[in-house]
Chain A
Amino acid sequence: MSTLITGARPYGEDAADILVEDGRIAAIGASLSVPGADVVDAAGLVALPGLVDLHTHLREPGREDAETVETGSRAAALGGYTAVHAMANTDPVADTAGVVEQVWRLGQEAGLVDVVPVGAVTVGLRGERLAELGAMADSAARVRVFSDDGHCVADPALMRRALEYVKALDGVVAQHAEEPRLTVGAQMHEGDRSARLGLTGWPAAAEEAIIARDVLLADHVGARLHVCHVSTAGSVEILRWAKSRGVQVTAEVTPHHLLLTDECAEGYDPVFKVNPPLRTDADVEALRAGLAEGVIDAVATDHAPHAVEDKETEWAHARPGMLGLEQALSVVVATMLETGRLDWRGVADRMSTRPAAIGRLDGRGLEAHGRPLAPGEPANLLLLDPGARAVVDPAALASRSRNSPYAGRELPGRVVATFLRGVPTVLDGKAQK
């Protein structure tokens, strides 16, 4: 079976035809002609490698009323993703080989993206003792990223051991950097607005203190460290310093931290409650600069679906988190591409190449992700209409939840098609299953 994508602009550059055969890109060139191939007219559309998300909450098992592996996979495909890492804070927690294999299998059955389970660092995310990291790594799910996300591995001795232990698994610990004693009851960024709104503050220092500690630990034991959802200018500075010293640290930023600020908390609508919280204009500027510079390696969504009753409530009683998969690329286009901070190759690097490398998905087989658009590579790619602009309507999202912080906001770029190993998961902007 072969598919011919005609007139697409790989990385936004010169138009070319892309021939897909047997799950791989067979050829890229001008005026390819293949009798019998399915033809997809991609004139004017930008072709990028399929996106890879390091940070998705799919809520299954446990909160299937908020999201399932299938609905989250559909949202991901519509956002241009071909692989997503599913965070471990499910119920039960993904802290055993059994649970990660279940999530992995559900992803295969849904067949819209490759769902790559993240394993918990500690049993039950309790931060007390290590989960069986080796068993999860050796399972069918082949876990390489370990995280207690939602909770910080706060105990420094336990964090040190986790960093050391996963070296044997070619793994990485993805830290939710939040010193818990500094964020008791915290509701929003601590600053002028929290003071006025009477909401307990989440100080930037609570994130920065953990990142500083962890880069020193990673340096000391020679391990890889990944920092989840970096949100402050100070964190960017610490990461820049650590990278300049050769520490093996990588970091991600969310779309919402690239676009939104704590101004959104005015009015107390909990759709804007998220952890770490939305911060200031100066932080947004530093995060964009850090991502452009490469100090921040990746954009990761922290897609966090929540049921209506968990958001339509008092701010302090609402769960933190917001949807992200379907709008992530549009937000990056708006904040990084249209501002001239990244070109299309840069977007592909931060949303596909580097996240795949961090998750060790960038091998040579057909199962690989984050590979370049080139003959012989797996045909994981998306087609984007960069000129389209649309107002976000939460009711139209594929996610089972509606907690999009972009509701009513006009964003650029529309994913027209997504291909997973040559099979269209999205065509004409519609999911194929």
Chain B
Amino acid sequence: MKRHLLEAADLDRADATLVLDTAAQIDAALAGREVKKLPTLRGRTVVNLFYEDSTRTRISFELAAKRLSADVINFSAKGSSVSKGESLKDTALTLEAMGSDAIVVRHSASGAPHRLANWVRGSVVNAGDGTHEHPTQALLDAYTIRHRLGRLEGVRVAVVGDVLHSRVARSNVRLLHTLGAEVTLVAPPTLLPVGVGSWPAEVSYDLDAVLPKADVVMMLRVQAERMNASYFPSAREYSRRYGLDAHRMGALGDDAIVMHPGPMNRGMEIAAEVADSVRSTIVEQVGNGVSVRMAVLYLLLGGRAGE
């Protein structure tokens, strides 16, 4: 494993598989235990540095670190020196001086974790940067697929929605490709980046043509505000062409699953009856997120304990 987890490309197939296997071991070790806590990172300090509001990702990382017995500090940009104009570099040096072993960073600017990694000695974990990547989301998605379908090699995954602005899509395309899955991106052309042709993924504008062949349908959050910039004419038209409703769900194979990274816009990209169906893994993904983030922190920090 590299020292940092900045993007999915930091993981080769062996590393990615190690993370998933470690998460499975952690799940097994904690299953049925009353005290869900391991002593592995006792005395280590993990900082959650969040420049964007994201309660679910922050508490997932917080829980992961606490279950490994690490000390956890939550550093939110709001109400801190950051809102008084402190630079990312100065914040990094401050956290470094306080002895942080890992910084989990969420930032609205693509590449901010890369910058941070230049300024600190500890590990940096990207918890979502701008429209770039969100590698632990991709890991928990891969973990969920493997858990449900028993494999990743050859699994056909349709990623549907606002690919252009999605860090989840970028990380998933890279990681799923590394792990041998076949990804098809489905979106209106306005929500696909120029240059998408160089990605290791197929591209389609037609959701109905893709669904019957998909083992996994991953729906991305689409912000209704995008219609104001003419990415699509209206929320209703988007939903009609690219939303997953009960009727479309009927076109899926028997074992196919439906995923969503959350938070969902029910009625926009996904209908309530789909989100709540037995195919849906949405709640499972949240639980798996904690295990996968424990595995990442353990592998980045555990090996260097006592250093």
Chain A residues with CB under 8 Å of chain B are 187, 190-201, 203, 267-269, 309, 312-317
Contact = CB atoms under 8 A, between A and B. Distances in A.
Given A198-B110, A198-B131, A315-B111, A192 B89 contact: no
Contacts of A313: 87-89, 115
Contact of A309 (B87, B193, B194, B197): B87
Given A194-B194, A196-B195, A197-B110, 11 more contacts: A190-B195, A199-B110, A199-B111, A201-B194, A201-B195, A268-B110, A314-B109, A314-B111, A314-B112, A315-B110, A316-B109
Interface string B73-117: 000000000000001110000000000000000011111101100
B130 A198 contact: yes
B194 A314 contact: no
A314 B118 CA distance: 12
**Contact residues of A: prevailing secondary structure:** loop
B132 interface: yes
A209 B45 CA distance: 53
B111 A190 contact: no
B272 to A, nearest CB: 31
Contact of A268 (B111, B170, B197): B111
A198 B129 contact: yes
B199 A314 contact: no
A270 B195 CA distance: 22
A197 B132 contact: yes
Contacts of B133: 198
B44 interface: no
Nearest to B9: A196
Nearest to A200: B131
Q: Which 9 residue pairs spanning A and B have beta carbons closest together?
A: A268-B111, A198-B132, A195-B195, A195-B193, A314-B109, A198-B131, A198-B110, A192-B198, A192-B195
22 contacts: A192-B198, A194-B193, A195-B194, A195-B195, A196-B170, A196-B198, A196-B199, A197-B132, A198-B111, A198-B133, A199-B110, A199-B111, A199-B132, A203-B194, A312-B87, A312-B89, A314-B107, A314-B115, A315-B110, A316-B108, A316-B130, A317-B109
B203 to A, nearest CB: 12
Contacts of A190: 194-195
Nearest to B192: A195
A126 B112 CA distance: 31
Contacts of A195: 193-196, 198-199
A315 B118 CA distance: 13
Contact of B195 (A194, A269, A312): A194
B109 A315 contact: yes
A187 B130 CA distance: 12
Contacts of A315: 109-111, 115
Indicate the member of A190, A197, A267, A269 with the most B CB atoms within 10 Å. Answer: A197
Contacts of B131: 198-200
